Amino acid sequence: MKKPIARHPIARHGRLKSTHPLALVAQYLGVALAVLLVSGAAFAGIATWTVSSDVQTVELAGETAGPLPQISAIDGGVNLLLVGSDSRQGQGDAYGETEGNLNDVTMLMHIAQDHSSATVVSFPRDLVVPIPSCPNPDGGSFDAMSAQPINVTLSYGGLPCTVLTVESLTGLSIPFAAEVQFNGVIEMSNAVGGVPVCVVDPIDDEYTGVLLEPGTHMLQGADALGFLRTRHGVGDGSDLGRISSQQVFLSSLVRTMKSSATLSDFGKLYGLARAAAGNMVLSQSLASPDTLVSIALALKDIDLDRVTFVAYPGATGGSGEYAGKVEPLYDDAAVLFSAIAADHAVVTADPANTGVGAVVDPSAPPTATATPDGAGAGSAAAGDVAGAAGGATQGTDVANTPTALPQSITGQTAAEYTCSKGNDY
C-alpha cells in the first residue's frame, strides 16, 4: 500500500455567500454547456461567461458578427468547443510548473437542432492528428502539420487553431468556443456548491496531491480541481483513464443541476456567468451574456438519458517521437460524428463500456441502473437502440432513435450512475 501523502497546497477562493444568486448558479448550465474540464482541471463550462468588461475575446477564423438572440432557448443546434488551458498565466505558483500553454482538455458539446439531445466528446490530449494552417495572431498564418498531439494547438495558434483542428477532424462547423483556466474551475465548483462523486477504490496521486478513500465525496473548490486533474491516480494512469473518471464527475454534475431547475431563473444564470469571469477567453460569438443564457436554456428540457459523454476513439501506440501517443480510429469516429451531424442521440454499445477510469456504480438505484439505451425516465426502448445499429424495429421513430456506437467508444449518459476507479497499475 502506498504511503499516505499530504495534499499539495492549492490556492483557494472564498466561497460565495449563499444569499448571492451565484450560489446555485447554472448547475446544469455549467455541465452541458460545458462540458467542462480543464486539463486536469476541467469543469467550468460555459456557464462561466461573464457579463463584465473583464471578458477576453478572440475572433475565430471566418467569424462575423450576427444578430443577438432573444432571451429564450437558442434557435437551432449548437456546436461549442471548451478548451482547458494549463498555462497558469496570472495564477501564481499554486499549480506548479507547466510546459507551456497546452490544451490538455478539449471537449466538444453538440446540442441537437430540436434540443432533444446533447452529446459531449472528449479528445485525448495525446491524440495525434493533422493540424491545419492556422491564423497567426500577429498576422499571416502558421504552416499546416501532418501529425501532432492535439494539445499543442493552443500554444501553436491559440483558441482559433484548436477550433480549426477539431473542425477538420470531425467535419463539423464550430461557431462557439471558450478557453478556461484552473482558477475558473475552482470558482465554478464553488458556485455550484459541490458535486457528489463515487469512488470504488482508493485514489492516491502524489502529483496532484489527491487522496480519496472508497465512498462518495462531495467535491468542490480545490478538491474538485484536483480530482479532475488527476491522471496517475485513476484507471491505468493514462489520459484515457482520466477522461472516463472526469465523466463520472460530469454525469453527477448534470443530475445534481438538472434536479434544481435553476435554468428558469435568469438572475441565477447571469450570476453564474460571473463566477469565472477573469479566467476565460471567449470567441466573439459568445461575448454576449444573452447568447450564453440562450444556449443554456436549450439544455433545460433534455432528458438525462439523452445527455451523453463519450471519448474520441483511439488506440495507444505509435513509434519514435509518437511512442505512447493515441492514434485515432477514424472509421469508428466517423460513426459518432455522422450521428452528431444528423442530430441523433448516441449511446455506447455496452452499459459497462465506461472506460478504464470508471465502473458502473454497484450501489446505483435499481431504476437508474445503466441499460444499453441509457436508463432513466424518457429513455428509448432497448430494442430501439438495436434498431439504430441495424435497421429500425417496427414502430420505432427513427429520428429519435439513439445511434449505437462502436465498442471502441467509451462513455455514459447522465442517467447512468458510475464511480471513479483508482489506479490499478
Nearest to 227 by CA among 29, 12, 3, 38: 38
Q: What would the grid cell of residue 270 be?
A: 447571469
Q: Name the domain count of the chain.
A: 1
* Residue 206 domain-assigned (yes or no): no
Q: 128 has which bridge partners?
A: 149
Give me the average pLDDT of each 10-residue run along the chain (425 residues).
36 32 33 34 34 65 57 83 71 49 90 95 95 90 94 92 97 92 68 84 91 94 89 91 93 79 54 59 78 79 93 86 89 98 94 94 68 38 37 44 94 96 81
The verdict on residue 371 lying in a domain is: no
Helices in 217-371 by DSSP H: which ranges? 221-229, 239-258, 266-272, 289-297, 330-341
Report d(CA 244, CA 309) in Å as an integer.
Answer: 9
Which CATH number fits the domain that encloses residue 114?
3.40.630.190
Q: Are strands 141-142 and 195-199 parallel, antiparallel or unpaired?
A: unpaired
Cβ atoms 371, 353 nearer than 8 A:
no
What does the pLDDT read at residue 221? Answer: 86
User: Could you tell me if residue 369 is inside a domain?
Assistant: no
Residue 393 domain flag: no
From start to end of 259-368, where are the E strands? 280-283, 307-311, 314-317, 325-328, 346-347, 358-360
Three-class secondary structure of residue 22 per DSSP? helix
Rounded to whole angstroms, the Cα distance separating 203 from 197 reads: 12
For 155, the domain range is: 21-61+72-198+218-329
Identify the pLDDT of residue 146: 94
SS3 112: coil
In a domain, 156, yes or no: yes
| Sequence-ordered alpha helix ranges (H) in 123-171 | 153-170
pLDDT value at residue 52: 43
Model pLDDT, residue 338: 97
Residue 1 in domain = no
Residue 28 lies in a domain: yes
Distance CA 296, CA 291 (A): 9
Residue 327: which of 311, 308, 314, 339 has the closest Cα? Answer: 314
pTM above 0.85, yes or no: no
Please check whether residue 10 lies inside any domain of the structure. Answer: no
Q: What is the dihedral of CA 154, 156, 161, 165, to 10 degrees?
A: -90
